[in-house]
Structure 1
Amino acid sequence: MKNLHLLTIALLLLVTACKKENIAKQSEYDASYKAWISFKNSSKNSYSYTTTFGSWVGFGVTIKVAVSNGKVVSRDYIKVQSRNDGTNNADTVKAWHEDAATINSHPNDAANALTIDDIYLKARTEWLKADAATNDIIFEAKNHGLISDCGYVPRNCADDCFRGISITAITAL
């Protein structure tokens, strides 16, 4: 009887371990992740990517991260504020550079620097697992099949509600 109990538990663990994750946009994610693995191999895991954020109140942030051999080696941050003079001009209000020794030394301005591997993991385990009943879930792969926009927007949220990442470019170093 004891052996039957152990066998039953082992089978239940095996079945649940093999169960495919339930994430939104699964097929799009899988195709993009496959493209990422190909790019990662061809670039020898050395690349840069650029993220952007823009607020309805007129400020925007651009961050460029460089990765060499799978390690973040630099990050550049630029924050701009639109002029309120009827033009499309903006002024740089803050800018900084981090090298390998100072990565993540500006926690009040930006989240920790991530590799694209980290981003795909966060997409799969956090952003694409948001509750679809209360959020609009987004996944796009406009960077030659690589992730470009991933996250979610809580329904009925009015301003700057996107939780996730917007990547405008990924290039090999």
Structure 2
Amino acid sequence: MLTESRNLFCCLYRSWCHNPVTTVSLCFLTQNYRHAYDLIQKFGDLEVTVDFLTEVDKLVQLIECPIFTYLRLQLLDVKSHPYLIKALYGLLMLLPQSSAFQLLSHRLQCVPNPELLQTEDGVKAAPRSQKADSPGIDYAELLQHFERVQKQHLDVRHQRSGRGDHPDRRALL
């Protein structure tokens, strides 16, 4: 990843992480599947609201759009993209049984069994590695930033529900 691309990703990440589902979509768009999976693991610590589940539903619908054709095709290469599959299964586990659940479930049923993809001569090609974490991006620091921002949002929601007033939005920045 070029320096400019890394800088753009980090800049977008820091501004998009106010919305957890949008942050995952950024990781999907940039093929940072391992980080998407790590983020989805953090969703268990977040407050799951109807709005949150609606956004997950919209992301599943978006995955079916042409912009994510490359992502769907990468599902065919199970060994090279294990974190993509794990991230999608993570989204599936978040969803209630709904049309989005059915859509994603059916998509994941199409993922081939890696054992069936072996060559007849028994010689296995060395699996290509998952898109390597881009050097120069501190994913652990980005994940900590995501957690801090989400904690601030939770604190603000609790303040609003407790007092009914609107706290200063600058606290989120």
TM-score (norm 2): 0.21
Higher strand share: 1
Q: Kindly name which structure, 1 or 2, has the bigger radius of gyration based on alpha carbons.
A: 1
TM-score (norm 1): 0.21
Higher helix share: 2
Which gives a bigger RCO, structure 1 or 2 (Cα 8 Å, sep 6+)? 2
